[in-house]
A and B are shown apart, each in its own frame.
Chain A
Amino acid sequence: MQPVSTSTQALPTYPPEVHVALLTYLVQLADTSLVLGHRLSEWCGHGPVLEQDLALANIALDLLGETRSLYQYAAELEGQGRTEDDLAFLRPATEYRNPLLVEQPNGDFAHTIVRQFLFDNFHYHLLQQLQHKPDERLAAIAEKSVKEAAYHLKWSSEWMIRLGDGTEESRQRLEKALRTLWRYADELTTPTPAEQTLQTAGLLPDYASLLPAMQAHTARVFADATLPLPEGVVMQQGGKLGRHSEHLGYLLAELQYMQRAYPGMTW
Chain B
Amino acid sequence: METLELTQEEQFQARIDADERIEPKDWMPDAYRKTLIRQISQHAHSELVGMLPEGNWITRAPSLKRKAILLAKVQDEAGHGLYLYSAAETLGASRDQMLADLHSGKAKYSSIFNYPTLSWADIGCVGWLVDGAAILNQVPLCRTSYGPYARAMVRVCKEESFHQRQGFEIMQTLCEGAPEQKAMAQEAFNRWWWPTLMMFGPKDEDSPNTERSMQWRIKRFTNDELRQKFVDMMVPQAEFLGLQVPDKDLHWNEDKKAYDFGEVNWDEFWQVVKGNGLCNHDRLQARVQAHEDGAWVREAALAHARKRAEKAVS
Contacts and interface: CB of A to CB of B under 8 A. Distances in A.
Interface of A: 34, 38, 41-42, 44-54, 57-58, 60-61, 64-65, 67-68, 71, 84-85, 88-89, 108-109, 161-163, 165-167, 169-170, 173, 254-255, 257-259, 262, 265-267
Interface residues of B, number: 46
A165 B307 contact: yes
A44 B58 contact: yes
B120 A258 contact: yes
B82 A45 contact: no
Given A45-B290, A166-B304, A170-B300, A57 B66 contact: no
A267 B173 contact: yes
Contacts of A266: 173, 177
28 contacts: A41-B58, A42-B59, A44-B51, A44-B58, A44-B71, A45-B286, A48-B290, A50-B48, A50-B81, A51-B82, A53-B78, A58-B75, A61-B72, A64-B67, A64-B68, A64-B71, A108-B293, A109-B297, A163-B300, A165-B304, A166-B304, A169-B300, A170-B296, A170-B297, A170-B299, A254-B59, A259-B63, A265-B62
Most buried by B among A50, A169, A258: A50
Nearest to A161: B304
B79 A44 contact: no
B71 A258 contact: no
B312 to A, nearest CB: 14
Nearest to B180: A262
Nearest to B52: A45
Interface of B: 48, 51-52, 55, 58-68, 71-72, 74-75, 78-79, 81-82, 85, 120, 170, 173, 177-178, 180-181, 286, 289-290, 293-301, 303-304, 307
A68 B69 CA distance: 13
A169 B58 CA distance: 31
A262 B62 contact: yes
A113 to B, nearest CB: 9
B296 A267 contact: no
B178 A262 contact: yes
A259 B61 CA distance: 9
Nearest to B302: A166
Tell me if B's interface is mostly helix, strand, loop or mixed.
helix
Contact of B59 (A38, A50, A51): A38
Given A49-B297, A108-B293, A166-B303, A64 B64 contact: yes
A199 B120 CA distance: 43
A48 B120 contact: no
Contact of A65 (B68, B82, B293): B68
A166 B71 contact: no
Contacts of B300: 162-163, 166-167, 169-170
Contacts of A54: 75, 78-79, 82
A44 B56 CA distance: 9
Contacts of B304: 161-162, 165-166
